[in-house]
Amino acid sequence: MALKSLRGTFARRLLAWYERERRELPWRGQSDPYRIWISEAMLQQTVVATVIPYYHRFLARFPTVNSLAEADESEVLRLWSGLGYYSRARSLKRAAMEVVSRFGGALPAEEAALRALPGVGPYTAAAIAAIAFGRVAFALDGNAARVMARVSGEEGFIDEAKTRGALHAFGLALVPPGRSGDFAQAVMELGARVCVPRAPKCHLCPVAGVCVVRGTEDAKRLPRKRPRRAKRNVSWVCVAAERAGRLVLERRASPGLLGGTWALPSAEGGPDAPEEVARTALALAGLKLEALVTLPGHVRHVFTHLEVSATVVAAAVKGSLRSDRHRWVARGGEVELPLASFTRKLLAHVAAHGNEGASSRLTP
């Protein structure tokens, strides 16, 4: 089928399906560029069900670009805590400041201007331009790339710029005049619910009739991906430094893993010799180790490129904190600081062992 005739058929069938089957999501049905921007930033690497409560809480606190621009970064990170990929939150804050200073608080409508903002890549810029402003743009995320690779039969590796360029051009040629926003969301919806990675539901697909690989093994095989590199396995020692029912948290360096969030002092190191790691980590906080006990078990967590196995040690300490990068917080209480999911796991592990971690039980 020629691309020109494919455009009309593909868009007509897809949009009819979308109007019947689309999910009611809080960022749909309105064209506020700021809200669309926040939703797209949150949806990167994160499933819809997880995003929804974060989206509501974030916008309740930061309802406008100006309110986000004026916020303290630590508060932005606190509202983001648990979503992961914290560079997204830091970039949102920086971009909001730039939107206020350069554009008077109104997001620009053009893709090029959007892409110049911190943290706004080609996909997010195209999504905002299409959905919020009705610009002719094609948002190529993982879902859209999968749909286009299968419909077109594209055999290139999905991580290659040439392949992604071809898929973007193919998708852009299918965008119907006047409905670029609906089309962008319809493609995303199709990829999320029907044209899924390992078991595509070709029998439910509204555009199966124009898809090159429909119902074949190629539908499962495309888009082509290179074998994933194995995650690096590392051991950490995390220190629950305790005094008078309080624990020390440190603000992690930004940029970097968990950058800008608060965590137990920690460093790479094996469970066989945690004392040296603990002494070094505590010295950076201005504290001196008096006694140490290793809590039972390990805390495991998977990051994008790492699998961490953490040994948690409870430490009795003396001395005074030397900088605002370290704070005392109530042991077992609610912490009003941005905490990553991994840190919450560690704190739960400390709390679960009760008096085993109390300084009164530690002996030099």
- Nearest alpha-carbon partner for 148 in 137, 139, 136: 139
Sequence length of the chain is: 364
Residue ranges of alpha helices (H) inside 44-86 are: 48-61, 65-70, 73-80
| Whether 40 is catalytic | yes
* C-alpha span between 174 and 171 (Å, rounded): 5
Extract the runs of DSSP E, i.e. beta strands, from the chain.
Answer: 232-243, 246-251, 262-263, 266-268, 287-294, 299-302, 306-319, 326-330
* C-alpha span between 207 and 150 (Å, rounded): 11
The Cα angle at residue 194 between residues 155 and 163, in degrees rounded to 5: 20
The active-site residue out of 40, 111, 189, 242 is 40
First vs last Cα of the chain: how many Å apart? 78
* C-alpha span between 174 and 169 (Å, rounded): 9
Catalytic residues: 40
